[in-house]
Amino acid sequence: MRSSAPIALLIGAAAWQSGDAVTTDQIASICGCSADTMRRRGEAAAAEGYALGVHPAGVWLFSVRRVLDWIELHHGRHARLEAESRARKNANLRLKPQKVPEILADAVVAA
């Protein structure tokens, strides 16, 4: 992975800025597998020269877009569509807590 490390870091930075970066647990939920399986997939893909994410300081951050592309390449279009559906549900779950302060602020104004 040494030769692809600078590329992986750039991918990680771009994914983080675009909101495409997710944790190991989140990507495992999207892929329908365990977090350990996603760590192994991340390491195997990196060894093949295709970074699914980055793991600075031992913590993986995966790019959802790159993982979905990898799923389609290795498991087919149907598997990708299933994962995309789970990714949309995951994104909706991640957005809900951010709306809580807005709801609380509206409740204070109404009171």
Average pLDDT over all residues of the chain: 77
Range of the domain at 80: 2-110
> Is residue 25 over pLDDT 80?
yes
Q: How far is CA 31 from CA 6, 36, 95, 99, 107, in A?
A: 26, 12, 19, 26, 38
| Direct distance between the N- and C-terminal alpha carbons of the chain, in angstroms, rounded to an integer | 57
* Overall pTM > 0.75: no
Tell me what pLDDT residue 52 has.
92
- pLDDT per residue over 73-84, tens digit each? 999 999 999 999
Partners of 23 in the β-ladder: 61
> Is residue 68 over pLDDT 90?
yes
3-class SS shares of the chain: helix, strand, coil, % to 5: 80, 5, 15
Tell me what pLDDT residue 54 has.
85
Give the number of domains in the chain: 1
Tell me what pLDDT residue 21 has.
84
Give the residue with greater pLDDT, 1 vs 75.
75
